[in-house]
Structures are given as structure tokens and as C-alpha cells.
């Protein structure tokens, strides 16, 4: 069935380190792909998205590329900051309408230390 596998955390990095959080999915059809971020005590908010193969989503220095051939959407940032400490969720959204078509990964907690 449809599912998403996200790199388990927690991840602890020093400021200015490079970040990769892996995400792969299995899905029928052609999903759109999202990364959401949750800061402490808040709800989830969109970080970036890509809606077709080879699209690159980007925001706040984060990037992810829709790789249809490997069914992946890995999140990267070249130089993390303390303010990036949060939980990150990968979420494919499938094509079917009229039903629940959104799947969340389990979340990856990132802590950035000065």
C-alpha cells in the first residue's frame, strides 16, 4: 500500500553543518511531495513542496528534489542554524480526491547546537 519512510531521529548537528533528512515513498499514481516543519509548541507548517518529477522545492535555505525514479524527496540544507531546530515531516499527497490522500512520515527531530 501507500506509505512513506523517513529517516529516524533525533539528529543533532553543530551550527553551520550540512543537513540531509532522507524520505522515500511508495505510492500508486503520481503524488505531490511536501516537507512540513513543526517548531516547539506549534502546529505544522509548510516548508517546501514539489508537484512533479525533477521539481526542486526550496525555502529558507532548505531544498528537496522530486526524484521519481528513486521515489525520494530528501531534504537538505547547506548550513543549519540554531533556529532550524524543529521536527520535520515528509508527506506525499496522492492523486485521488474525495478520500484521505495525505500521508505523513513519523517526523525527524533536529537539534542544532551552537
Partner 1 sequence: NAGVTQTPKFQVLKTGQSMTLQCAQDMNHNSMYWYRQDPGMGLRLIYYSASEGTTDKGEVPNGYNVSRLNKREFSLRLESAAPSQTSVYFCASSGQGTGNTIYFGEGSWLTVV
Residues that bind partner 1 (CB under 8 A): 30-32, 34, 36, 41-46, 49, 51, 89, 91, 93-95, 97-102, 104-107
Task: Extract the C-alpha cell encoding 28.
Answer: 500508486
Strand partners, 52: none
Q: Which is nearer to partner 1, 41 or 114 (CB)?
A: 41
Q: Which is nearer to partner 1, 42 or 69 (CB)?
A: 42
Min dist. Cβ of residue 16 to partner 1 (A)? 29
Strand partners, 4: 25
- Separation of alpha carbons 59 and 54, rounded Å: 16
Asked if 73 and 90 touch (Cβ cutoff 8 Å), the reply is yes
Min dist. Cβ of residue 70 to partner 1 (A)? 20
Amino acid at each position: 500500500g501507500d506509505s512513506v519512510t523517513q529517516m529516524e531521529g533525533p539528529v543533532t548537528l553543530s551550527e553551520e553543518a550540512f543537513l540531509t533528512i532522507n524520505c522515500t515513498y511508495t505510492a500508486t499514481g503520481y503524488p505531490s511531495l511536501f516537507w512540513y516543519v513543526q517548531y516547539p509548541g506549534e502546529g505544522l507548517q509548510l516548508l517546501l513542496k514539489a508537484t512533479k518529477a525533477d521539481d526542486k522545492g526550496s525555502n529558507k535555505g532548505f531544498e528537496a528534489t522530486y526524484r521519481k525514479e528513486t521515489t525520494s524527496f530528501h531534504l537538505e540544507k547547506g548550513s543549519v542554524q540554531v533556529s532550524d531546530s524543529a521536527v520535520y515531516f515528509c508527506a506525499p499527497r496522492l492523486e485521488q480526491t474525495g478520500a484521505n490522500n495525505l500521508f505523513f512520515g513519523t517526523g525527524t527531530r533536529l537539534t542544532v547546537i551552537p
